[in-house]
Structure 1
């Protein structure tokens, strides 16, 4: 079966992308038109959690309409502007939203972030450059933390329930941990605590110990690389 975009299956049958999930959550508050959803996501800085572009958002909304998660309420025109269609979430949409949230919260999925790859290959750079780059990242993260602190203060002054900005808490904790780790690593490299030579330990790739290190610690634990890729990442590449 193909949906309105010509892709196999309907959006109600597949995992929602993060963008679609965030939009559907906003529709769960009240009926809205697509541009209102876009502006609301910008105001709430959802663009820090998902890749937010008008075209991608409207495409996601159209797919959710085709999949029965949203339904048209009517159209209106404001002055000389084009007509805007208002949508509301359907019972199927609320069910799909709740089901995916349950899965996403309860089940960790390895999302293949880029930074650990760079950290794993950091030894290819000179020690002094590695230290400078790590400390530069610390500075960026500290600026991000200042931003989140300001956001916390604004939301408290506005009287918004804390449950509505738990994502800000989570991101702040993650940034704090990353900042502290990067700062500590930079200090260790600068102090000469890590062997930062150009050579690779002899026989590493061929050693039995290395091969054993790449296998699970317990036969009942599957290899990490067997962790399934999130469906929304597969869709994004197709």
Structure 2
């Protein structure tokens, strides 16, 4: 399942005909990078590939003043079918990719505890910063925010809280890992 394809097709299905920058802006406004694998910079390439596959089509080209021209795209009937397939795949797929910290933790033998504590504390700060951004996002509504959007943000927040809980457990048991004192 390709999350970028899913995002582009769903944006066009929901929002109607748009040009690439509008889709990219929607990804930034929705903070898609905080709760998905979608990166706003990858949307243009995906849009062109979807056009090559007949899943979206160019409906017109616009140019305002001296600004560069921009192509407006819409989803095709085949694109709507593909969107349904991608959504079904997304619901069926459960991802918990291996986290490199697990391999590092399994191989810490001989690493001093202060170094390990420093690395883990850095990770905790990064996780807390991500959670803070999501908490801030949850406190502020964005255009067209839906109850489904609220649930998506809450899912990401709960996952981060679970990671923070696990890191607290590791930090608590750090002395038992067999590293040097």
Q: Which of 151, 159, 167 is the aligned partner of 1:166?
A: 151
Q: Which has the larger radius of gyration?
A: 1
- Bigger relative contact order (CA 8 A; separation at least 6): 2
Q: Which of 81, 96, 106 is the aligned partner of 1:95?
A: 81
Q: Which of 152, 160, 163 is the aligned partner of 2:138?
A: 152
Q: Is the 8 A contact 1:19 1:52 kept in 2?
A: yes
Q: Which of 171, 181, 190 is the aligned partner of 2:166?
A: 181
Could you say what the CA RMSD is over the residues aligned between the two structures, in angstroms? 2.3
Deviations 1:66-107 (A, max 9, x none): 111101111111111121110011121111112122122123
- Alignment partner, residue 31 of structure 2: 45
Instruction: Name which of structure 1's ranges 99-108 and 68-77 shifts more when overlaid on structure 2.
Output: 99-108
TM-score by length of 1: 0.67
Aligned pairs, how many? 178
- Alignment partner, residue 196 of structure 1: 178
Shift of 1:136: 2.4
Instruction: Name which of structure 1's ranges 104-113 and 125-134 shifts more when overlaid on structure 2.
Output: 104-113
Shift of 1:109: 4.4
Q: List structure 1 segments (4+ residues) > 6 angstroms apart after TM superposition.
A: none
Shift of 1:165: 3.7
